[in-house]
């Protein structure tokens, strides 16, 4: 179990890593100190190890679905409206297979270095202590902002469901409390149970939206043939519009970000390949059908999320059904961030297992602070949605594309460069690296440009405003 801060290879021998540091074997707490424990401490330790080794590949698939497939999938029809049907389908399918491959590389690193418990520790393997700290901050900020995003999404859902004049901040507080409650279970095996509800929720919301928009299109005078969709990009498209649409698709495949954390609980880690293929293919099918069909039914006027295009009554029903996915998918970000911080603070203590009174107290305090910070950040920063786009361009481009590519070059590759296998994989990983760097640069530019345009148009939200978030 890789709770510790040390990193070792599969043979538990000392290894040199980038940055000139050496790491040898598992953390001392997992070896010598166990023998010095009292019987009570040893029982806590053994129960903790058992608690965090219950995840099989099927539950891993479910947990990855919880992390990856949320209400954001209903923003993909908007991307299709911007890019056109042809480019939308090609990008959705192509980027999906790229994400499956980079996730495979992440898993290979976990198998080769089993004590890598979270993504930052892979950063240490590549770039030493500096790499660890940089990736730690990147992942922490992204998870915090994602929790805040789900808080705002919950607010939007409650506003649309109730259609009342209640101040949106009230709904934001309610959303934050629900997110906190769902984040209480610290084990991903326990979160997987909620994952089944999460998956049914998002599939039902998507199907309702598809059926409703299809019926609406059929009921018009011209029928489906009158819908103004196009195979090609919309007229007058700007670079900012185009790349924001592309990044919406890219960010939908960001499941590698938490993969180390999830795999750390697997009882048979090598089975992860089944999980990433299952998840990747499910995502490709869902995203492609959702984007193509809803765009074909609604046309250029499709809203984001597409639930808003389903009509007043259906929209309320769909948002109600989508509530589980909003809060379950949001809370798993809190759990990953909480586990990462908690494991670092208490790396040499049985408190880290969260199966004692002090373990539970520290855990509950930590996730409460994380949720509160996410709520405040989402309400205080007037351009929060664009800030999330910037952070996603800066960070998810790395977690999904250029970090896995670098992992292959620095950690995974074996044998001589000039073998056919390494030449082919080298070219593939170079492409992944380029995709990540282009997303990093162009995505950040497009997001900043969008913030400037929003300020110019006066469409930026106020601080703790009662107005509905966009």
Q: Is residue 162 part of a domain?
A: yes
The more confidently predicted of residues 284 and 38 is 284
Using CA atoms, how far apart are residues 80 and 233, in angstroms rounded to an integer?
8
pLDDT at 345 over 50: yes
Q: Is residue 298 part of a domain?
A: yes
Tell me the per-residue pLDDT of 352-384, one tens digit each, with 9 for 90 and over: 889 889 999 999 999 999 999 999 988 887 666
For residue 464, what pLDDT is reported? 73
Helical (H) or strand (E) element with 269: none
Q: Is residue 470 part of a domain?
A: no
Q: Is residue 86 part of a domain?
A: yes
Tally of domains within the chain: 1
Q: Is residue 449 part of a domain?
A: no
Tell me the per-residue pLDDT of 149-199, one tens digit each, with 9 for 90 and over: 999 899 989 999 998 888 889 999 999 999 999 999 999 988 888 999 999
pLDDT at 272 over 90: yes
Q: Is residue 251 part of a domain?
A: yes
Read off the DSSP letter of residue 16: E
pTM attached to this predicted model: 0.89
For residue 30, what pLDDT is reported? 47
Q: Is residue 438 part of a domain?
A: no
Q: Is residue 137 part of a domain?
A: yes
Using CA atoms, how far apart are residues 417 and 426, in angstroms rounded to an integer?
8
pLDDT band at 33 (very low <50, low <70, confident <90, very high): low
What CATH number does residue 138 fall under? 1.10.4160.10
* Cβ(54)–Cβ(189) below 8 Å: yes
Residue 348's domain comprises 15-381
Contacts for 89 with CB less than 8 Å, ≥ 6 apart: 80, 288, 291, 292
Question: Checking phi first, is residue 221 left (phi over 0); if not, alpha (psi -120 to 50) or beta?
Answer: alpha
For residue 265, what pLDDT is reported? 93
Question: Checking phi first, is residue 357 left (phi over 0); if not, alpha (psi -120 to 50) or beta?
Answer: alpha
For residue 407, what pLDDT is reported? 98
pLDDT at 468 over 80: no
């Amino acid at each position: 179990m890789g709770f510790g801060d040390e990193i070792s290879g599969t043979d538990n021998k000392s290894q040199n890593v980038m940055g000139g540091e050496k790491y040898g074997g598992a953390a001392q707490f997992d070896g010598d100190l166990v023998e010095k424990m009292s019987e009570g401490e040893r029982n806590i330790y053994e129960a903790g190890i058992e608690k965090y080794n219950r995840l099989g590949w099927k539950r891993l698939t479910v947990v990855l679905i919880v992390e990856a497939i949320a209400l954001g999938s209903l923003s993909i029809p908007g991307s299709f409206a911007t890019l056109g049907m042809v480019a939308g389908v090609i990008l959705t399918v192509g980027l999906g297979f790229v994400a499956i491959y980079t996730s495979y590389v992440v898993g290979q690193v976990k198998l080769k270095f089993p004590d890598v418990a979270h993504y930052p520790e892979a950063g240490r393997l590549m770039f030493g202590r500096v790499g660890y700290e940089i990736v730690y901050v990147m992942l922490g900020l992204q998870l915090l902002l994602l929790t805040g995003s789900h808080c705002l999404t919950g607010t939007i859902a409650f506003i649309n469901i109730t259609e009342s004049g209640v101040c949106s901040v009230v709904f934001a507080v309610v959303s934050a409390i629900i997110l906190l409650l769902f984040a209480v279970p610290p084990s991903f095996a326990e979160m997987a149970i909620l994952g089944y509800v999460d998956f049914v929720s998002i599939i039902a919301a998507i199907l309702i939206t598809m059926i409703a928009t299809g019926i609406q299109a059929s009921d018009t005078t011209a029928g489906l043939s009158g819908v103004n969709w196009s195979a090609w990009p919309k007229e007058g498209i700007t670079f900012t519009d185009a790349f924001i649409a592309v990044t919406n698709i890219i960010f939908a495949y960001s499941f590698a970000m938490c993969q180390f954390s999830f795999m750390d609980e697997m009882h048979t880690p090598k089975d992860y390949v089944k999980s990433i293929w299952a998840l990747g293919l499910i995502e490709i099918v869902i995203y492609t059908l959702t984007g193509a069909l809803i765009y074909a039914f609604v046309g250029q006027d499709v809203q984001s999320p597409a639930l808003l295009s389903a009509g007043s009554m259906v929209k309320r029903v769909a948002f109600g059904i989508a509530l589980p996915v909003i809060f379950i998918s949001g809370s798993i970000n809190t759990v990953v961030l909480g586990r990462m911080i908690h494991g670092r603070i208490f790396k040499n203590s049985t408190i880290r297992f969260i199966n004692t009174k002090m373990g539970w107290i520290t855990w509950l305090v930590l996730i409460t602070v994380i949720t509160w910070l996410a709520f405040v950040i989402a309400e205080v920063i007037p351009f929060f949605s664009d800030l999330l786009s910037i952070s996603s361009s800066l960070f998810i481009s790395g977690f999904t594309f250029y970090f896995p590519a670098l992992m292959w070059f620095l950690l995974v590759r074996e044998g001589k460069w000039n073998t056919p296998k390494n030449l082919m994989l080298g070219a593939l990983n170079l492409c992944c690296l380029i995709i990540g760097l282009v997303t990093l640069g162009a995505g950040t530019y497009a997001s900043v440009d969008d913030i400037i345009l929003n300020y110019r148009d006066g469409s930026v939200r106020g601080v703790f405003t009662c107005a509905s978030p966009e």
